[in-house]
Amino acid sequence: MDSREDDGGEPLSRMAEWRDVTPLPQDDGPNPVVPIAYKEEFRETMDYFRAIYKADERSPRALRLTRRAIHLNPGNYTVWHFRRLVLEALNADLDEELDFLQRIANSNSKNYQLWHHRRWRYFVVTRSPFLGGLKAMRAFEVRYTVEAILANPNNECPWRYLRGLYKDDIKALVNDPEIASVCLKVINTKNNYIFALKMLLDLLCHGFQPCHEFRDSVVALRASDTDPLDPDLSMAICDILEQVDSLRASYWIWRKNKLSVAAV
Amino acid sequence: MRQSKNPNIDNKTDKEHMFRYSQILELRRWIKVIFRWKNFALLNVTNYLISVTKHELSTQCLSPLITGADFETMESFRSLTVTQRDQILVEQQVFDIFKTFYNLPPSSQSFMLELQRENHVEYLTKGLTGLGPSFCVLDANRPWICYWILHSIALLDEFVDPELEDNTIDFLSRCQGPNGGYAGGPGQASKILDIIIVKLLPTIFCMLTMPHLATTYAAVNSLVTLGGDKALSSINREKLYMFLRQMKDASGGFRMHDGGEIDVRACYTAISVASLLNILDDELVQNVGNYILSCQTYEGGISGEPGSEAHGGYTFCGLATMILINEVDRLDLSSLTDWVVFRQGVEGGFQGRTNKLVDGCYSFWQGGIFALLKRLNSTKGVKPIPLGDGEGSGEESPQTTASSDAAGEEGLNEDLSLGGSHSKIGDQHNTSSQVNVIDIDHNHSKGHANELNGGLRDKPGKSRDHYHTCYCLSGLSVCQRSWLEDEDSPPLPRAVLGPYSNLLEPIHPLYNVVLDRYREAHEFFTKS
């Protein structure tokens, strides 16, 4: 938040280049609500900004002024908008502008690079113009995602990403042996298996034919041997999830009801 | 992010890990103690605890993160992602508050659960009359501050005094542009200087601050919340309609402002305002649905723009928009539901995105989604699912038939029944009603730390602000009614949390304005 990088933070009223400009105060009215006790530097900068904006002066000094105003309040969309107009009018060097943006981003330090990267990656994967696009990259992505799941089965992101890789091709999800296999592996550890059970449930809902191994693994999750388990594997999974993921008990009951509706 | 190559180890030293790990073990011990305690008084601590206690208590009910058998070693703690470890620390802070609560005598417990209405109102009213220099960064959002404050006050069933009300109407009028819409601050220059400048500088008239869709939404909701002819008639609907048309992009989406970004929030604020003011027409609606659909991600939630990540705020905005334009069927509601139920954490709060920390404001953004889904469901006559416990549901029965309550509900059900989804959205009572644990605890732990000076916040350890006060209270209002099928019947005592006097005013979940104020505005703008 350093507005001093260009002009030493000197008051604009004392700078020669602004002598011809009459600052334009904000008119809050006689009895404003939510009035802000502006810092002097903020008030003065905005008074000059209003004057320049009103005069629509697209000049180098106007560009410097927007820089100063953005440093003081990066959330002022009017200043950003006017800055774009000035940049266009001056045919300014946009590489320099990129540096400026980078510095603003650095001082607003919420780190979204990872998400940005992930988004970029997803875009590349799904919008690839090459034949096969998503399909061609899918095998590689699935392997990567399965590794991530096995490293930390309780991380929801890779499980959802896996679904995303098969977004418009559920049949392929059901038929990919790697998917069912990672579910089984995680369930067999008897730990952190909620997402694995959920994935297995989704597979079953879309026609997956489980072998005995799957049923045995699910049976092994029962709290006690005396609990009767629903003969239908999907129903049994819903029952188990209702118990172990009780925060979402209603959701699992709903999923179970959906199964019986589908069965009728 | 090569997870198989020990990716989760950051720069933290083993000593720090050891320290955190020992804290977690202590926390787990306490959770076990708390959940074994069969005293019914505890059931009031949070709705979250209610839901856990319903299902024969066992530590299995809790997040495997903090209770799973695999979590017995230091090594397993270290293998968590950085965010998962941060999440555990938040859970710990919240459970520490539960622990404090558990150790208090009953009289102090009931005080701890009491919403400190007077302090909240005092904090809010003070904000309306003056804000410190740190608010410079919100200088382009002043109608938002008005809305957060006024809506919070309305939720608490309080009013601002007539003078302050007049001042607010006058201030917002100064934010209203000559060509429609509201800017983030007063738009016109002071009159005297205006004349001088117009004479000296040949220039066309322009707003000194540009009108913006989000601040337009905030200003309109503020005025609707104030209510009364003066406030409602101060909105220039004809000009506002023209402004909305100008912000409409050829793609169907809306721009936030002239030359601004197109996103789901812009669509929601435009459509919400138009619907509330009764100026919604085919031109405004055209292709908005396509845009929103293009933002539903593979996770099931909705992102701000095509290609980015599903997010609670945008999912609320997108879903509400689709309901308002009568195209909600086009969304994949099953996957949306699946996404949102997994956004709630073990401590009861909601996170905005997968693997992020919980934050009280999502009590509304995510909690409000449940209110909308539930309404979609109940207007279609699908039989709601019982709460799952069987105990006590007889006399308090939330399972009454909800589909035939036509009269007296006009606005709300009318709007909500516009949607005609065929998916059966299940009963999410249990989940959505648990949103308030964070909120209340924010409030009260804040109180203990800081002499009960009002306001709510993101999570323990953060400072209060008007935004979080508004959305924590909005979320609380929604969840207090989430077990109800009939909007007009009073909420169950156990859903209110704490003394029944904690009950907040109901909201219209599509616009997030208090229901009475919505009805007044609806009538006003239907007539005129």
Residue B440 resides in a domain: yes
Among B64, B186, B427, the residue with its CB nearest the CB of A250 is B427
Specify whether B280 is located in the same domain as B140: yes
Q: Extract the tokens encoding A260.
A: 């019986």
Among candidate residues B468, B481, B508, B517, the one labeled active-site is B468
Residue B109 resides in a domain: no
Task: Label residue B195 exposed, middle or buried (CB < 10 Å: 0-12, 13-18, 19+).
Answer: exposed
- Domain span at B97: 3-103
Active site residue B527: no
Into how many domains does chain B fold?
2
User: Going by C-beta distance under 8 Å and a sequence separation of 6 or more, which residues neighbour residue A16?
Assistant: none
Q: How far apart are alpha carbons B509 and B412 in whole angstroms? A: 9
Among B80, B298, B431, the residue with its CB nearest the CB of A248 is B431
Q: Extract the tokens encoding B67.
A: 């209770």
Q: How far apart are alpha carbons B466 and B470 in whole angstroms? A: 6
- In chain A, residues with a C-beta closer than 8 Å to the C-beta of B346 are 247
> How many other β-carbons are positioned within 10 Å of the β-carbon of residue B264?
30
Specify whether B435 is located in the same domain as B373: yes
Specify whether B288 is located in the same domain as B256: yes
**Interface check B31 vs A, CB under 8 A:** no
Residue B462 resides in a domain: yes
pLDDT of residue A92: 83
For residue range A222-251, what is the model confidence (pLDDT) as tens digits? 877 666 788 999 999 999 999 999 889 989
A interface mutation test: which of B66, B342, B382 has the most A CBs within 10 A?
B342
Q: Where are the domains of chain A?
A: 4-107, 113-263
How far CA A9 is from CA of A15, A86, A168, A244, in Å, comes to: 10, 22, 56, 60
B interface mutation test: which of A58, A71, A77 has the most B CBs within 10 A?
A77
Q: Is the pLDDT of residue A183 over 70?
A: yes
pLDDT of residue A11: 94
Specify whether B227 is located in the same domain as B339: yes
Specify whether B249 is located in the same domain as B137: yes
Is pTM beyond 0.80 here?
no
Helix (H) or strand (E) holding B444: helix B436-450
Specify whether B188 is located in the same domain as B64: no
Specify whether B93 is located in the same domain as B125: no
**Interface check B222 vs A, CB under 8 A:** no
Specify whether B174 is located in the same domain as B85: no
Task: Label residue B202 exposed, middle or buried (CB < 10 Å: 0-12, 13-18, 19+).
Answer: exposed
DSSP 8-state class, residue B458: S
Helix pair angle (A156-165, A194-205), 10° resolution: 20
Q: Is the pLDDT of residue A188 over 90?
A: yes
Active site residue B362: yes
A254/B426 touch (CB, cutoff 8 Å), yes or no: yes
A50/B208 touch (CB, cutoff 8 Å), yes or no: yes
Residue B491 resides in a domain: yes
B424/A261 touch (CB, cutoff 8 Å), yes or no: yes
Among B76, B103, B130, the domain-final residue is B103
- In chain B, residues with a C-beta closer than 8 Å to the C-beta of A194 are 64
B184/A76 touch (CB, cutoff 8 Å), yes or no: yes
Q: Does domain A113-263 have CATH number 1.10.287.130?
A: no
SS (H, E, C) chain A: CCCHHHHCCCCHHHCHHHCCCCCCCECCCCCCCCCECCCHHHHHHHHHHHHHHHHCCCCHHHHHHHHHHHHHCCCCHHHHHHHHHHHHHHCCCHHHHHHHHHHHHHHCCCCCHHHHHHHHHHHHHHHCCCCCHHHHHHHHHHHHHHHHHHHCCCCHHHHHHHHHHCCCCHHHHHHCHHHHHHHHHHHHCCCCCHHHHHHHHHHHHCCCCCCHHHHHHHHCCCCCCCCCCCCCHHHHHHHHHHHHCHHHHHHHHHHHHHHHHHHC
Specify whether B286 is located in the same domain as B429: yes
- In chain B, residues with a C-beta closer than 8 Å to the C-beta of A51 are 197
Per-residue pLDDT of chain B (528 residues; tens, 9 = 90+): 333 434 343 444 555 555 555 555 555 555 544 444 333 222 223 333 322 222 222 222 333 333 333 344 555 666 677 777 787 778 777 777 777 777 888 888 777 788 889 999 999 999 999 999 999 989 999 999 999 999 999 999 999 999 999 999 999 999 999 999 999 999 854 444 444 444 343 333 456 788 999 999 999 999 999 999 999 999 999 999 999 999 999 999 999 988 888 899 999 999 999 999 999 999 999 999 999 999 999 999 999 988 788 999 999 999 999 999 999 999 999 999 999 999 988 777 899 998 888 899 999 999 999 999 988 876 554 444 332 233 333 333 322 223 323 223 333 333 332 222 222 233 333 333 222 333 333 333 333 333 357 899 888 888 899 999 999 999 999 989 887 877 778 898 888 878 899 999 999 999 999 999 999 999 999 987
pLDDT of residue B373: 92
pLDDT of residue A157: 87
Q: How far apart are alpha carbons B156 and B173 in whole angstroms? A: 26
Among B46, B75, B103, the domain-final residue is B103
Long-range contacts of residues B402-405, Cβ cutoff 8 Å, at least 24 apart: B402/B378, B402/B485, B402/B486, B403/B378, B403/B379, B405/B486, B405/B487, B405/B488
Of A15-29, A162-176, B55-69, B345-359, give the range with the top mean pLDDT: A15-29
Confidence class for position A74, pLDDT limits 50, 70, 90: confident
B188/A250 touch (CB, cutoff 8 Å), yes or no: no
Active site residue B465: yes
**ipTM associated with this complex:** 0.80
Active site residue B12: no
Specify whether B95 is located in the same domain as B231: no
Q: How far apart are alpha carbons B8 and A152 in whole angstroms? A: 10
pLDDT of residue A133: 60
Active site residue B353: yes
Among candidate residues B20, B120, B265, B311, the one labeled active-site is B311
Nearest residue to B93 (alpha-carbon basis) of B46, B26, B36: B26
| Positive or negative torsion for Cα A134, A138, A144, A145 | positive
pLDDT of residue B183: 95
pLDDT of residue B405: 30
Specify whether B65 is located in the same domain as B190: no
